[in-house]
Amino acid sequence: MSCSSVKHRFDDAKKNGLKFSEAKELFADAEGSVAAHQMELAELKKQNASSQEITKLEQHIQEGQQMLQSIEQMTLR
């Protein structure tokens, strides 16, 4: 699943109340997406891809990592 769709699901879930099981699922999806992007980034760098492609992917990775941190910092009430 793409980072943008995971982020959209996360934002919607936060607005409507997020269950622990949903947070775990979103975290796993985001973690998988970030890992896939990191592998793709390594391949792009090996292939000497354009800096624009690399920068765009690095931004996606950073956004995914920020979402992971947001989920990790959530508290149950």
Give pLDDT, residue 64. 92
Q: What is the value of pTM for the model shown?
A: 0.84
Between CA 10 and CA 27 the distance in angstroms is: 9
Between CA 6 and CA 29 the distance in angstroms is: 7
Averaged pLDDT in 10-residue chunks for the chain of 77 residues: 81 88 93 95 95 95 93 86
Domain residues of the chain, as ranges?
A: 3-72
Give pLDDT, residue 77. 73
Cα torsion for 7, 74, 29, 66, to the nearest 10°? 60
